Amino acid sequence: MGDTPPIRTTCPYCGVGCGVLATPRSDGNVTIKGDPDHPANFGRLCSKGMALGETLGLDGRLLYPEVNGQKTSWDQALDHVAQRFKRTIETYGPDSVGFYLSGQMLTEDYYVANKLMKGFIGSANVDTNSRLCMSSTVAGHKRAFGSDTVPGNYEDLEHADLIVLVGSNMAWCHPVLFQRILAAKDKRPGLNIVVIDPRRTKTAEMANLHLPINADGDVALFNGLLQHIVQTQMVNSSYVGDHTVGFSEAVNATQISQKDLIKRTGLSEGQINEFYSLFVNTEKVVTCFSQGVNQSSSGTDKVNAIINCHLATGRIGRKGMGPFSLTGQPNAMGGREVGGLANMLAAHMDIDNQAHRDLVTEFWGASNLAPKPGLKAVELFRALKSGDVKALWIMGTNPMVSMPDTDLVAEALAACPMLVVSDMMANTPTMGFAQVKLPSIGWGEKGGTVTNSERRISRQRAFLPAPGMARPDWWQMAQLGKKLGHEEAFGFKNAAEVFAEHAALSGYQNDGTRDFDIGVHADVSSEEYEALKPFQWPQPKEAEPSATRFFANGSFYTDDKRGRFVPTRLADKQQHKPKSKFVLNTGRVRDHWHTMTRTGKSATLSSHMGEPYCEISRADAQRLHIKPADLVRLFVKDQQVIVRALISTKLSAGQVFCPMHWNNNYASIGSINQLVKAELDPHSGQPALKAARVKVERANMSIFGFAVTRNEPKDLSADYWAKAITRTGWRIEFAHQRARDLPRLVREIANTDVTTADVAYHAPHDDQQRLAWFDGVHLRTAIYIASSPVEVSRSWAAGQLDTIFDETALRYRMVAGRPGKDMPDPGPIVCSCFSVGANQILDAVNAGCTSVSEIGKTLSAGTNCGSCKAEISELIHERSLLAAE
């Protein structure tokens, strides 16, 4: 039997929103390719997109509803939820319940949840992880434009002559869009890229200019730029005069002395001037921003400080120009469109606007429209802890890992009398607290729409059957609506009906008064919905699809249709923190997605970074006696995490960087948000996730270990451990303070005693032990133990699980701990598509390759998804520096 034809769908990870062709094969696997016809990616995919097929297995899935630990039917589970919500609302009022949702839900899921809470339950306590992600941008857009509008398109990045990336590690976090920029730069080398980031990221590696700004120096930098625009007479007076208000007030309010500018940004006068003159002298500028901007206690002001400079130069809404918010999640934008934040209403309408409230009440036939904004994410969890909120439904997000102050989150969840969690996975740290566990279908099984960063709406389509009893999120919410007595309002038969209603609301009495209008789809049939092609909004009912940019000629969504300059405030004093504390910067790695519930299942993706780490400067490492591969302890009072030290030249002293991904499913104590307190932006309520203060010290361990093993060890008691999946098993890092616990640790990993090892090596002088067990010709477990960090090639050792040991002599290779001459050590994996390691790339450089494309020709590395191009370029660069020394 032949394979079925490919299904067109959209990648479930980042906000680039790449089109995917998924082909289920007769052997049960799924072939994943980029969709050449999708206007976001034109066939490209990054490493995460490429590996989607590896994340579709059913291991770890939640497959049936559970109430208080008992399997049950959907009907019983939802009856239970409905009764408890109803009773709580009757006794304590609508604001005693809440939903905590996710920018990874589809628009249809989100629409139903928002409609239920805001239109029928009568509370606006529906907030989402987008609060941790995009809410400063939403607040900044609304202050400047009167609406939450992204003015430009991806194409603008290809037409720009200058791209400024502020707080964005695009090479890793929006890789396909970054590839589009690099391709444009290849064609037009005059295209300049400036990266503003405290760290020299892989993105900065590819830039013409990197400004290693101090944490939160951005408002100062862009206020200084506004001043420079005025001083150099580069103000676009006609645009400012015709289309904006508040210019002189903003300019006056944002004055900053050169001395203060240098102090706050930590940049030199030369660096600042170079950036300013590039900006004023280039007409076509796009300024992209992401979490280095949003996740800050001054996030909203950062957004407005950037927008002010674009308004002042009139560089907005025209080809190749504009401020550009890079959205993180696949449907961050769709969530905003349905109004899924506690301070929004629906379809880009405002909760505190009476006309909007009347319109939505009428359209929905709402019995009980929420009278006021609800609790924002962090407030919602605080209210849960204090008992003001007594019933919460969490859907598609893992706050026990992703919220700041996870200890508070744990207390809040534990205190919640009625906690419902809908997820695909059974064992997320959040799910552990739920009384009602509801199995959701996930990517590949569900269908609906998502909106990407450039306002393009695309279909996700199912190509796999729903496993077990798992059901769509929108259906779960609609059932609750019905069980609460709102049969008619929640009688949706399928996702197409939900989308049609959403589209109809967007166009309802709109007439160009609101930016978000997809009224053309108000009557979409199920067939048309199935065939829906990616399209960009707005698409009003009667209008021809036309301009896809906003504000080139004003027409802002404010009362007077003028854009607003917003005076932004610098913090009263630069935060002077005690010297002993580090600024803790957090963020993402190339190949993992958030809390790893999906990417943690992929061996390809897990080969890039196998454990949590802390990037620390050489100077600080030296001062704290931290050596390469040591473990470090980061702590605040009695909260701590232990992670691997990565001594680096890419950030300056006083800063450390840790990825946000690892949690107790993959590491002992790697959950970084234990250390991040919930300091909030005053306008958006978004927590400052990038500038916590922590102490750092070397973690004293008496034994270090590394293991590869076929079966996943379940209970590991080492003081430090981290595990990562490989093609046929697991790789484990561990370390422990008490040497005498070693036999127990070995037993936990090998499932047997030290004495049973098939081959063993023991070096008494330095406590080194190397042990291996075999099942026939296959390696079962190999463990390496030493009193200092173990030096064994991780990728080589993991590969041995797939090797045939048909000669006994070969087994000794395992305890030698190094590859034989016939199998060179590839080194840490750089290119995950072709499993090419750093050593192989360096060998090729030694053999004469001098460019990324030559490496590609020799090793194929970087030629598939291209996500590793920046890393390859860095290796070549570093090797050539070495050669020059």
Ligand X SMILES: Nc1nc2c(c(=O)[nH]1)N[C@H]1C(S)=C(S)[C@@H](COP(=O)(O)OP(=O)(O)OC[C@H]3O[C@@H](n4cnc5c(=O)[nH]c(N)nc54)[C@H](O)[C@@H]3O)O[C@H]1N2
Q: By CB under 5 A, name the binding residues for Mo ion.
A: 133, 328
Segment interacting with ligand X (CB under 6 A) among 178-186, 209-217, 348-356, 740-748: 209-217
Contact in structure between 798 and 828 (CB atoms under 8 Å): no
User: Which residue minimizes CB distance to Mo ion?
Assistant: 328
Q: 248: exposed, middle or buried (C-beta count within 10 Å: 0-12, 13-18, 19+)?
A: exposed
Segment interacting with ligand X (CB under 6 A) among 22-30, 390-398, 539-547, 846-854: 390-398
Is residue 291 a contact residue for ligand X (CB under 6 A)?
A: yes
| The entry of ligand X, Mo ion, ligand SF4, none that residue 506 binds, CB within 5 to 8 Å by partner kind | none
Segment interacting with ligand X (CB under 6 A) among 210-218, 381-389, 630-638, 852-860: 210-218
d(CA 179, CA 173): 11
Structure tokens at 689: 């996730």
| The entry of Mo ion, ligand X, ligand SF4, none that residue 176 binds, CB within 5 to 8 Å by partner kind | ligand SF4
Structure tokens at 120: 């029928």
Is residue 378 a contact residue for ligand X (CB under 6 A)?
A: no
Please report, as a single letter, which amino acid is at residue 121.
I
Helix pair angle (852-859, 869-884), 10° resolution: 110
**Quick one: which of 581, 588, 698, 811 contacts ligand X (CB under 6 A)?**
588
Structure tokens at 772: 């291996």
DSSP sequence for 604-624: HHHTT--S-EEEEEHHHHHHT
**Quick one: which of 7, 8, 9, 18 contacts ligand SF4 (CB under 6 A)?**
18
Is residue 16 a contact residue for ligand SF4 (CB under 6 A)?
A: yes
DSSP 344: B
Is residue 175 a contact residue for ligand SF4 (CB under 6 A)?
A: yes
Nearer to Mo ion, 240 or 584 (CB): 584
Nearer to Mo ion, 67 or 133 (CB): 133
Nearer to ligand X, 591 or 748 (CB): 591
| The entry of Mo ion, ligand SF4, ligand X, none that residue 18 binds, CB within 5 to 8 Å by partner kind | ligand SF4
Return the beta strands (E) in 452-554 as ranges.
456-460, 535-536
Q: Residues 92-131: x/- map of binding to ligand X (CB under 6 A)?
A: ----------xxx------------------------x--
d(CA 516, CA 522): 13
Contact in structure between 310 and 322 (CB atoms under 8 Å): yes
| The entry of Mo ion, ligand SF4, ligand X, none that residue 16 binds, CB within 5 to 8 Å by partner kind | ligand SF4
Is residue 453 a contact residue for ligand X (CB under 6 A)?
A: no
Interface with ligand SF4: number of residues (CB under 6 A): 14
Minimum Å gap between C-beta 711 and ligand X is 23
**Which long-range CB contacts under 8 A does 412-415 form with residues at least 24 apart?**
412/381, 412/382, 412/384, 412/385, 413/384, 415/384, 415/385, 415/387
| The entry of ligand X, ligand SF4, Mo ion, none that residue 524 binds, CB within 5 to 8 Å by partner kind | none
Query: Phi and psi of 754, rounded to 5°?
Result: -50, -40
Nearer to ligand SF4, 443 or 805 (CB): 443
User: Residue 826: is the preceding peptide bond cis (ω within 30°)?
Assistant: no
Is residue 398 a contact residue for ligand X (CB under 6 A)?
A: yes
Q: Residues 609-648: x/- map of binding to ligand X (CB under 6 A)?
A: ----------------------------------------
For 56-86, b/e burial (b = at least 16 CB within 10 A) is beeeebbebbbbeeeebebeebbbbbbebbb
Contact in structure between 35 and 474 (CB atoms under 8 Å): no
Interface with ligand X: number of residues (CB under 6 A): 63
Segment interacting with ligand X (CB under 6 A) among 85-93, 194-202, 228-236, 260-268: 194-202
Q: How far is CA 630 from the centre of its chain?
A: 28
Return the beta strands (E) in 588-710 as ranges.
613-617, 631-636, 639-648, 655-659, 692-698, 703-709
Segment interacting with ligand X (CB under 6 A) among 303-311, 317-325, 398-406, 856-864: 398-406
**Quick one: which of 288, 321, 410, 424 contacts ligand X (CB under 6 A)?**
424
Looking from the CA of 387 toward its CB, the CA atoms found within 13 Å total 0
Residues 684-743 that bind ligand X (CB under 6 A): 689-690
User: Which residue minimizes CB distance to ligand SF4?
Assistant: 49
Contact in structure between 514 and 349 (CB atoms under 8 Å): yes
DSSP sequence for 786-830: ESS-----HHHHHHHTTSB--SHHHHHHHHHTS--TTS----SEE
DSSP sequence for 553-572: T---SSTTS-EE-------S
CA distance to 119, 368, 374, 382, 455, per residue, from 123 (Å): 8, 8, 7, 17, 28
Q: Residues 31-50: x/- map of binding to ligand X (CB under 6 A)?
A: -----------------x--
| The entry of ligand X, ligand SF4, Mo ion, none that residue 11 binds, CB within 5 to 8 Å by partner kind | ligand SF4
Q: Residues 31-60: x/- map of binding to ligand SF4 (CB under 6 A)?
A: ----------x---xx-xx-----------
Torsion of CA 89, 92, 93, 95, to 10 degrees: -90
| The entry of ligand SF4, Mo ion, ligand X, none that residue 17 binds, CB within 5 to 8 Å by partner kind | ligand SF4
Minimum Å gap between C-beta 753 and ligand X is 37
Residues 213-242 that bind ligand X (CB under 6 A): 213, 215-216, 218
d(CA 797, CA 782): 8
Minimum Å gap between C-beta 329 and Mo ion is 5
Residues 176-235 that bind ligand SF4 (CB under 6 A): 176
**Quick one: which of 53, 98, 198, 320 contacts ligand X (CB under 6 A)?**
198
Is residue 435 a contact residue for ligand X (CB under 6 A)?
A: no
Structure tokens at 681: 């932006």
Minimum Å gap between C-beta 424 and ligand SF4 is 17
Minimum Å gap between C-beta 312 and ligand SF4 is 32
Nearer to Mo ion, 599 or 709 (CB): 599
Minimum Å gap between C-beta 593 and ligand SF4 is 8
Residues 518-537 that bind ligand X (CB under 6 A): none
Nearer to ligand SF4, 858 or 863 (CB): 863
**Quick one: which of 536, 673, 674, 769 contacts ligand X (CB under 6 A)?**
673
Nearer to ligand X, 673 or 709 (CB): 673
d(CA 586, CA 602): 23
DSSP 521: G
Structure tokens at 7: 């299904």
d(CA 338, CA 77): 27
d(CA 604, CA 591): 9
Query: Phi and psi of 669, rounded to 5°?
Result: -140, 70
Tell which phi-psi region holds residue 265, choosing left (phi > 0), alpha (psi between -120 and 50) or beta.
alpha
Is residue 506 a contact residue for ligand X (CB under 6 A)?
A: no
Is residue 410 a contact residue for ligand X (CB under 6 A)?
A: no
Is residue 404 a contact residue for ligand SF4 (CB under 6 A)?
A: no
Is residue 597 a contact residue for ligand X (CB under 6 A)?
A: yes
Binding residues vs ligand SF4 (CB under 6 A): 11, 13-14, 16-18, 41, 45-46, 48-49, 174-176
Residues within the interface to ligand X (CB under 6 A):
14, 48, 102-104, 129, 132-133, 166-170, 172-173, 196-199, 201, 213, 215-216, 218, 290-292, 295-296, 328-329, 395-399, 401-402, 422-425, 428, 440, 442, 446, 473, 585-588, 590, 592-595, 597, 660, 672-673, 676, 689-690
